Structure 1
Amino acid sequence: MATAYHNLSEYDINSMPDASDMKVAIAAAEWNSEITDALLKGAVDTLMRNGVKQENIYVARVPGTVELTFASQQMAEFYQPDAVIAIGCVVRGDTPHFDYVCQSVTQGITHLNTLFGIPFIFGVLTTNTMEQARERAGGRLGNKGDEAAVAAIKMHDFVCKLK
């Protein structure tokens, strides 16, 4: 989580598990594409920097954040990846729509984590303003996409150690 004391993109690359054999699916929302494109780039760059081969990264774009749950589930079934990352951005507006979208995708991704034997990573920004989103999509607080990719690698390693 980004705070005034922690940058989303900061991690010790030397402490990262080997990800060279990983397959990762990423579902990214088109809505707020200025932000989701930056998050997606951060995730892909971090995966590759940590050894994931480009041909083992499957990316699909969906219209909005609510659609991430279905897309993530479909990608898990079709590609059989080691982890799925859901990337989106919801910015609070003047109506309760923000609350419904955030609740839907949070519950959906959480539910997928209980159904499959792989991690589903929540790479969705839920901010009050577009400026807060920019700060977390490559701005002064780093990139939530980086953080999501690091979480995917570490959670895959966690699962592997259980076997």
Structure 2
Amino acid sequence: MPNVIQPAPVPTDARFAIIVAEWNKNITGKLLDGAVDTLVEQGVADERIDVAWVPGAWEIPLVAMRLAESGQYAAVLCLGAVIRGETTHDQHINRGVSMAMLDIALEFDLPVLFGVLTCNTLEQAIHRAGGNVGNKGSECAEAALQMVGLLQAME
């Protein structure tokens, strides 16, 4: 039987950063609510959660890098909503943001969670921000907690 590495409990002094894009705020605000609610329900004190609003998804990686550099956070959650329009603009945003976030996670050995919705329609985004497909902000927070615990167990 293989040895399965199980996540350790998240340290009570762990801090979490959440970056939220203001673009499509009617969607991203719900993602933020889901993320904060999940972290608090899992025992993270409200005062250990820092939220930074940025204009849009494109600005998320710069702030994520600054927060990662600070060494203060157990994880950085990145929330946004990029909805396809009439051009390929969304594809460029999504690709750039996702690749930058991956680079930051690897450079700083830190969970940087991709909670950016990449939807074809506003309706799809609504369904993923607390609608019939769940809340991807909450799922992002759950993944952050699991990754923090797993990395803790691997030390």
Q: Give yes or no for TM over 0.5.
A: yes
Q: How many angstroms apart in 2 are the aligned matches of 1:84 and 1:97? A: 25
TM-score (norm 2): 0.92
Tell me by how many angstroms 1:53 deviates.
Answer: 0.7
From 54, 64, 75, give the equivalent of 2:56: 64
Q: Can you list the C-alpha shifts for 1:11-38, whole angstroms capped at 9, x where unaligned?
A: xxxx986333321001110000000000
Question: Are 1:139 and 2:131 counterparts?
Answer: yes
Q: What is residue 88 of structure 1 aligned with on the other side?
A: 80
Which ranges in structure 1 are unaligned for 5 or more consecutive residues? 1-14
Alignment-mate amino acid for residue 18 of structure 1? P
TM-score (norm 1): 0.87
From 29, 36, 52, give the equivalent of 1:44: 36
Q: Can you list the C-alpha shifts for 1:49-106, whole angstroms capped at 9, x where unaligned?
A: 0000111101000000011101111122236200000000000000110110000111
Question: Are 1:29 and 2:21 counterparts?
Answer: yes
Q: How many angstroms apart in 1 are the aligned matches of 2:34 and 2:8? A: 18
Contact 1:69 1:109 in 2 (8 A): yes
From 78, 90, 103, give the equivalent of 1:98: 90
Contact 2:35 2:141 in 1 (8 A): yes
Greater shift, 92-101 or 20-29, is seen at: 20-29
Q: Alignment partner of 1:22: what SS?
A: coil
Please show how residues 115-154 of structure 1 align to structure 2 within 5 Å: 115-154=107-146
Contact 2:22 2:56 in 1 (8 A): yes
- Percent sequence identity is 43
Alignment-mate amino acid for residue 135 of structure 2? N
Alignment-mate amino acid for residue 29 of structure 1? A
Distance 1:140 1:17, change over 3 A: farther
Q: How many angstroms apart in 1 are the aligned matches of 2:112 and 2:126? A: 23
Q: How many equivalent residue pairs?
A: 149
Give RMSD over aligned pairs.
Answer: 1.5
Alignment-mate amino acid for residue 43 of structure 2? G
